[in-house]
Structure 1
């Protein structure tokens, strides 16, 4: 089931604010995520935000694409992740990837490949390496809807 940004999927990263819901990422998780994505430059980095209850963590994944402008997950790593989540009771809250040299807007390939139900897509752009930009999206039908995100200091 696809839910709009205004509907909570997990208490792990969502908080109520005037006018709807806002995704909040703890600073320590953001730092881990950003460090990983920076370490993958000039290639796209990829990972997932996982959560259970009020706990949230970042898990880096391997980009097996053979170029710098795409990401592709290892099918074996993805299956392993899904099996591990069955054991831990965590959920995939967001699929994360970077755009090393372009704005944090989903590409046609990003939109076509985003099929995980009830998850967000988080894109971090290093277009300006001194000021990474982050955008968050939810799939709604065949389009992606931008959602508010806040890094909690």
Structure 2
């Protein structure tokens, strides 16, 4: 018997679901981007092939703010076209927190929906994890989450390999 554990991941109830594995190079690229974009939050997308993360794509933060991010829609559209052309998928959306924990803020949750704040709708990217990079600690803290309908936030354990 299979059920959806988290959006986009089907698992067998008779065994423990696999923990997403993220290569150290992918994590290092997200952390480097977060540091380079200080004092503002950084944001971007992680592409996958056959379920494995393969590339970090930086996206301009149109908010240019240390308190929030808004991914440039034209860059997002271009990356969607690239995924369509290469057969890649969207593994995760990432962004940084400059001085707060690696957990989605109320603003992050609100902005995961369209229109923003309409949490009773399905999120814009229901089958995609959100990765948070917090620069509040050294070394930076990197965690993954699902943002679900109703504004529910669930942490997803990850393994950095």
Give the structure-2-normalised TM-score: 0.79
Q: Is the 8 A contact 1:7 1:21 kept in 2?
A: no
1:14 corresponding residue in structure 2: none
Task: Tell me the CA shift for residue 6 of structure 1.
Answer: 8.6
User: 1:150–1:77: structure 2 CA closer, same or farther, 3 Å change rule?
Assistant: same
Q: Is the 8 A contact 2:95 2:133 kept in 1?
A: yes
Q: What 5-or-longer segments of structure 2 have no aligned partner?
A: 113-123
What is the root-mean-square deviation in Å for CA atoms of aligned residues? Answer: 1.9
Q: Matches of 1:138 and 1:4 in 2, distance apart?
A: 11
The residue matched to 1:105 in structure 2 has which SS? coil
Name the structure, 1 or 2, with higher relative contact order (CA <8 Å, separation 6+): 1
Q: Across the two proteins, how many residue pairs are aligned to each other? A: 141
Pick aligned residue for 1:108 from 102, 106, 109: 106
Larger Cα-atom Rg = 2
Partner residue, 1:135: 143
Which residue does the alignment assign to 2:19? 22
1:64 Cα shift? Answer: 1.1
Is 1:125–2:134 an aligned residue pair?
Answer: yes
Aligned to 2:6: 5
Closer, same or farther: CA 73–97 of 1 in aligned 2, 3 Å: same
Matched residue, 1:12: none
1:45 lines up with 2:31 in the alignment: no
Question: Unaligned regions of 5+ residues in structure 1, if any?
Answer: 10-17
Normalization by structure 1: what TM-score? Answer: 0.83
Q: Deviations over 1:15-39 (max 9, x none)?
A: xxx7323111111122222111111
SS at match of 1:121: strand
Comparing 110-119 with 92-101, greater Cα deviation is found at 110-119
Pick from 66, 69, 85 the counterpart of residue 87 of structure 1. Answer: 85
Q: Which runs of structure 1 show a deviation greater than 6 angstroms over 4 or more consecutive aligned residues? A: none
